[in-house]
Amino acid sequence: MPVITTIDDLRRMHKRRAPKMFYDYAESGSWTEQTFRENTSDFDLIRLRQRVAVDMSNRTTTSQMIGQDVAMPVALAPVGLTGMQCADGEIKAAKAAEKFGVPFTLSTMSICSIEDVAEHTSTPFWFQLYVMQDEEFVDNIIARAKNAGCSALVLTLDLQILGQRHKDLKNGLTAPPKLTIPTMINLATKWRWGLGMLQTKRRSFGNIVGHAKGVGDTSSLSSWTAEQFDLQLDWAKIAKLKEKWGGKLILKGILDVEDAKKAVEIGADAIIVSNHGGRQLDGALSAIRMLPSIVAAVGDKIEVHMDSGIRSGQDVLKALALGAKGTYIGRAFIYGLGAMGEEGVTKALEVIHKELDITMALCGRRDVQTLDRDVLLVPKNFEGEWA
């Protein structure tokens, strides 16, 4: 067993163990990948203030997200095709999150279904919804999430059309993979992954197949998003969905102050400042760069969370210090899952927790809930001047 000390160690193992098409799916941004790259490189621009001779004992990373106790304010983000990185991936990730004490968010585009995950866990998880044109399907999936006891609906607003990720098209991404010659050659080297897949029945989009009507090719993410997603989603429809759901609502994909204000107006419980990990509008600013202005505009009216670019506990600390009440990791836990299944997700959470805890101590703080801009050195023009 190699000594794993960073999220990047897990990424390298994930790359070796998972089929190329699924590793590439996770590791892609759209078009030039500028936003994907800047999501991480902008975190590096922020530095930390070293403080000394302060009591570092009795530290705590516990907090709340939407009123729910969390061992640290780091939830697992919804990630499509998680069950293709490793057999039964969503169940394994949800179990790791449950044991660690952080929220797990199941994607609409998951391989394991809502019911599958509910059956294998006992803590309520969150369900992420993509709004489709087929209202019956949407009503049905909301009812399924309610029946499964999901404690929040995470409505994604930044993916009504799929941003183009070149590698997915070149690799012919499907779930399950279509057995073309290049895919078979690649799969031949992924015996551990293949053995797991042979032992599970969960190999297609579990929330969709058998539930959605009129989808031409259910194995192709790009074709069914193009056929099914509701291009006319607007704030009036979001308000209706809020009513239908009737529980905690988190709006994901807010990157603009005006949209954040709209989220407050409709009475959402939280927003996630996010550019979908750089997978949608390439050329948008990084989420960490947009966070301070959104917090300044609505931070006292709604809970502000953020994702996109977090690869370490230090990144988590920076986001919290800039005003986020909660954060999400997507790729960081997917690397762990692709590397070592449930154990790998736990490892990713442990790595991030340790980095967060020790960084907090070295910044002279003991409680994650008291982190503020004072622990940071932020470049004067960090948010930039954009006309």
Six token digits for residue 30: 């759209």
Is 109 or 233 the residue whose CB approaches ligand GLV more closely?
109
Site string for ligand GLV, 328-367 (x = CB under 6 A): ----------------------------------------
Is 208 or 375 the residue whose CB approaches ligand GLV more closely?
208
Is 38 or 168 the residue whose CB approaches ligand GLV more closely?
168
Residues 90-109 that bind ligand GLV (CB under 6 A): 109
Is 159 or 321 the residue whose CB approaches ligand GLV more closely?
159
Is-contact 329 77, C-beta < 8 A? yes
Closest approach of ligand GLV to the CB of residue 334, in Å:
11
Q: For residue 280, give every residue at least 6 positions away whose Cβ sits within 8 Å of its Cβ, in sequence order, or none.
A: 30, 158, 159, 163, 253
- Residue closest to 372 by CA, chosen among 316, 322, 299, 311: 322
Q: Is 166 a catalytic residue?
A: no
Closest approach of ligand GLV to the CB of residue 98, in Å:
22
Which residue in this structure is represented by tokens 């750089």? 278
Is 159 or 340 the residue whose CB approaches ligand GLV more closely?
159
Site string for ligand GLV, 67-86 (x = CB under 6 A): -------------x------
Candidates 11, 248, 279, 325; binder of ligand GLV (CB under 6 A) is 279
What Rg value do the Cα atoms of the chain yield, rounded? 20
Distance CA 296, CA 143 (A): 36
Closest approach of ligand GLV to the CB of residue 324, in Å:
21
Distance CA 173, CA 162 (A): 14
Site string for ligand GLV, 138-167 (x = CB under 6 A): ---------------------x--------
Q: Collapse the DSSP code of 226 into the 3-class scheme (helix H, G, I; strand E, B; otherwise coil) and give the result.
A: helix
276: contact with ligand GLV by CB under 6 A: yes
Strands (E), the chain: 47-48, 63-65, 68-70, 74-76, 105-106, 126-129, 152-156, 249-254, 270-273, 303-306, 326-329, 376-377
Q: Which one-letter DSSP state was computed for residue 79? A: -
Distances from the Cα of 64 to the Cαs of 222, 365, 368, in angstroms? 36, 18, 11
Closest approach of ligand GLV to the CB of residue 166, in Å:
13
Distance CA 113, CA 88 (A): 10
Site string for ligand GLV, 16-45 (x = CB under 6 A): ------------------------------
Is 77 or 348 the residue whose CB approaches ligand GLV more closely?
77
Residue 305 φ then ψ, to 5°: -110, 165
309: contact with ligand GLV by CB under 6 A: no
Closest approach of ligand GLV to the CB of residue 354, in Å:
28
Closest approach of ligand GLV to the CB of residue 26, in Å:
9
Distance CA 203, CA 196 (A): 11
Closest-CB residue for ligand GLV?
Answer: 80
Is 26 or 298 the residue whose CB approaches ligand GLV more closely?
26
Helices (H), strands (E): how many in the chain?
A: 16, 12
318: contact with ligand GLV by CB under 6 A: no
Residue 156 φ then ψ, to 5°: -90, 125
Site for ligand GLV (CB under 6 A): how many residues? 5
Q: Which of 14, 211, 276, 353 is catalytic?
A: 276
Closest approach of ligand GLV to the CB of residue 46, in Å:
26
Amino acid at residue number 89: G
Give the binding site for ligand GLV (CB under 6 A): 80, 109, 159, 276, 279
Residues taking part in catalysis? 276
